[in-house]
Amino acid sequence: MLRWLRQLFNTSPLEFDESWRPELVSGFQHWSLLSQAELDRMEMLVTRFMATIDWEAANGFELTEQIKVLIAAQASMLLLGLDLDGYDDVTSVIVHPANVRLRGNRPSGGGTFSSAPIVISGQAHYQGPVLLSWAAARRGARFPEHGHNVVYHEFAHRLDMLDGVTDGTPPLEDAAAMARWTAVCTAAYDEVRAQGSPVLRPYAGTNPAEFFAVATEVFFNQPHELCEHEPALYGELRSFYGQDPAARISRPRRHHQHG
Ligand SMILES: [Zn+2]
């Protein structure tokens, strides 16, 4: 494998570039929470992502090394505990400076469709590119406590697509794991659609694929809240991702506001 990579890039063995580190430490909150063993694997994943992904800048946007590495690290977080070292079927990552306006028919939640233009912060195409808003990706990396992360969201879709179906169920170990996953996710999804959720935003009720992508964002960003309100769902995501973000992130303190 290593020899193949060397031949492919006609270069020395791939190595983590130390100049990336300050950006990761200051710009990506989750980076500093990782153990040394996790950092070792993350460095390998980030290096691989940086080297193997084709990057495209939209609208004359100046795509810097710092921007790329922050996106690479967020995408790699999802792989940290998986038996998977990269997103081999992602053809490219297209970075827009901010949100993008799209037209055309699309699901608008609750089984209805809309042709009104919508503004998106990201999009994942099956066996194609991933589109991202840099403004949203930067915000998600810096302020995980807000719960949103467009990179986690779009790359969760890519994991979901690995089995060829975008249905909210990524490839799982065996039939028993699949049965458990389906039961837990269906119950939580039905609940979001029927009465909403204190932790999963309404967009999770659009369809099972969006449910998995939104649940992934909350799993990594607000693990204690997810664990409290949806313990079974938290357990399924923990066993799929092979990570326990609640053990990594300290419990949020209640805000006391005056006035
Ligand atoms: Zn989505």
Is the CB of residue 130 less than 8 Å from the CB of residue 93?
Answer: yes
Query: How close is the Cα of 25 to the center of ligand 1, in Å?
Result: 27
Q: How far apart are CA 189 and CA 122, in angstroms?
A: 22
Q: Count CA atoms within 13 Å of residue 122 on its CB side.
A: 26
Q: Does the pLDDT at position 259 exceed 50? A: no
Query: How close is the Cα of 204 to the center of ligand 1, in Å?
Result: 9
Query: How close is the Cα of 42 to the center of ligand 1, in Å?
Result: 24
pLDDT in tens, 181-235: 999 999 999 999 999 999 999 999 999 999 999 999 999 999 999 999 999 999 9
Query: How close is the Cα of 183 to the center of ligand 1, in Å?
Result: 21
pLDDT in tens, 112-165: 777 888 888 999 988 899 999 999 999 999 999 999 999 999 999 999 999 999
Query: How close is the Cα of 36 to the center of ligand 1, in Å?
Result: 32
Query: How close is the Cα of 93 to the center of ligand 1, in Å?
Result: 16
What CATH architecture does domain 7-248 belong to? 3-Layer(aba) Sandwich (3.40)
Query: How close is the Cα of 148 to the center of ligand 1, in Å?
Result: 12
Query: How close is the Cα of 257 to the center of ligand 1, in Å?
Result: 34
Query: How close is the Cα of 216 to the center of ligand 1, in Å?
Result: 11
Query: How close is the Cα of 43 to the center of ligand 1, in Å?
Result: 27
Query: How close is the Cα of 223 to the center of ligand 1, in Å?
Result: 19
Query: How close is the Cα of 179 to the center of ligand 1, in Å?
Result: 23
Query: How close is the Cα of 140 to the center of ligand 1, in Å?
Result: 15
Q: How far apart are CA 2 and CA 254, in angstroms?
A: 49
Query: How close is the Cα of 242 to the center of ligand 1, in Å?
Result: 22
Task: Name which of 48, 46, 86, 90 is nearest 66 in CA terms.
Answer: 46
Query: How close is the Cα of 209 to the center of ligand 1, in Å?
Result: 7
Q: Does the pLDDT at position 175 exceed 70? A: yes
Is the CB of residue 211 less than 8 Å from the CB of residue 204?
Answer: yes
Query: How close is the Cα of 19 to the center of ligand 1, in Å?
Result: 32
pLDDT in tens, 46-99: 999 999 999 999 978 999 999 999 999 999 999 999 999 999 999 899 999 999
Beta strand ranges found along the chain (DSSP E): 54-57, 92-96, 100-102, 106-109, 112-114, 118-120, 122-124, 130-133
79 in helix, strand or coil? coil
Is the CB of residue 220 less than 8 Å from the CB of residue 153?
Answer: no
Q: How far apart are CA 177 and CA 122, in angstroms?
A: 30
Q: Does the pLDDT at position 256 exceed 60? A: no
Q: How far apart are CA 1 and CA 7, in angstroms?
A: 10
Query: How close is the Cα of 255 to the center of ligand 1, in Å?
Result: 30
Query: How close is the Cα of 113 to the center of ligand 1, in Å?
Result: 15
Is the CB of residue 156 less than 8 Å from the CB of residue 148?
Answer: no
Phi, psi of 17 (to 5 degrees): -85, 115
Is the CB of residue 208 less than 8 Å from the CB of residue 161?
Answer: no
What are the boundaries of each domain within the chain?
Answer: 7-248
Query: How close is the Cα of 11 to the center of ligand 1, in Å?
Result: 36
